[in-house]
Copies of this chain bind each other. A is one copy, B any other.
């Protein structure tokens, strides 16, 4: 059972979020421990970790967390696009390989939703990183010198409205739109792979300079549990967006994380991209109006 005075336990997946969160808690003088998932956690996360475990070694994870008697458990960082090492030792830990297949077949967030449920059933309080460090979330704002032109603003609205319609299907945290044309919808391959795909597609047809520009739209699925999955962008997103020929990036305010915010904005400015955060439901509504007029 959780002791109210216990430390904050960070279950650390990939990218920079666990470290950013740890920095913030350190500044606030809040005691915390990091349990890093092998094959997901970044080197810096692992170097700070109090324990490193296999993602599916449920028994070991459970016993370490129990030993810490944490006041709060936090899942930080994605565990969806593992390096192969993440799974090297995990199958031995599963009594039944089908369990995993079943979990992962439920959709992108199946595994993490189950983890949250599991910890809550054990009596732990499970929060999201954004609840302890809300400043990491994008606020409604234009972050860059470049701003969306009317054409891109329309593309942003189209993207938000399409993603809103997809949300019930546990799919589509991001898409790429040029003009009113949807060029790609993100699947489990992730944002960077989707951007690479559009880049390749455009290269193949480079003689035809059609639907130039375009935008990346990234937001949380409506009703998504942000403790489970917090959409994130960072400097790399900007670089890949530029490579894909896009004009900018729009994220849902209040539901998206800007990792390395200063560097992300500086990168966007250097590349001439815009970065804007908009309220997702307003943007989706605008998109539905635009689509209605366009047909």
State the A residues within 8 Å of B (CB): 82, 84, 87-88, 97, 100-102, 104-108, 110, 158, 161-162, 165-166, 168-172, 178-185, 187-189, 193, 197, 201, 205, 207-212, 291, 294
A125 to B: closest C-beta gap in Å:
24
Partner pick for A197 among B162, B189, B208, B210, CB 8 A cutoff: B189
Given contacts A84-B205, A161-B169, contact A101 B185 (CB under 8 A): no
A18 to B: closest C-beta gap in Å:
22
Given contacts A183-B188, A187-B185, A207-B88, contact A294 B106 (CB under 8 A): yes
- Provide the bound-state CA to CA distance between A182 and B172, in Å: 9
Given contacts A100-B210, A104-B211, A210-B101, contact A184 B182 (CB under 8 A): no
Question: Which chain B positions have C-beta within 8 A of A106?
Answer: 179-181, 294
- Provide the bound-state CA to CA distance between A165 and B193, in Å: 24
Question: Are A170 and B188 in touch, CB under 8 angstroms?
Answer: no
Given contacts A169-B165, A205-B82, A210-B101, contact A181 B188 (CB under 8 A): yes
Partner pick for A210 among B88, B104, B209, B211, CB 8 A cutoff: B104
A116 to B: closest C-beta gap in Å:
15
Question: Which chain B positions have C-beta within 8 A of A182?
Answer: 107, 169-171, 187
Q: By CB atoms of chain B within 10 A, which of A88, A179, A193 has the most?
A: A179
- Provide the bound-state CA to CA distance between A168 and B166, in Å: 11
- Provide the bound-state CA to CA distance between A193 and B97, in Å: 30
Question: Which chain B positions have C-beta within 8 A of A87?
Answer: 207-208
- Provide the bound-state CA to CA distance between A257 and B258, in Å: 45
Question: Are B170 and A166 in touch, CB under 8 angstroms?
Answer: no
Given contacts A106-B180, A168-B165, A187-B183, contact A211 B101 (CB under 8 A): yes
Q: List 24 A-B contacts (CB under 8 A).
A: A82-B205, A84-B205, A84-B207, A87-B208, A88-B207, A100-B210, A101-B209, A101-B212, A104-B211, A105-B211, A107-B180, A107-B181, A107-B182, A108-B181, A110-B181, A165-B165, A166-B166, A169-B182, A170-B180, A170-B181, A183-B187, A185-B187, A188-B201, A197-B197
Q: A108-B181, A110-B181, A162-B166 are in contact. List 11 more A-B contacts (CB 8 A).
A: A97-B209, A101-B210, A101-B211, A105-B179, A105-B181, A107-B181, A107-B182, A158-B169, A170-B180, A172-B185, A185-B187
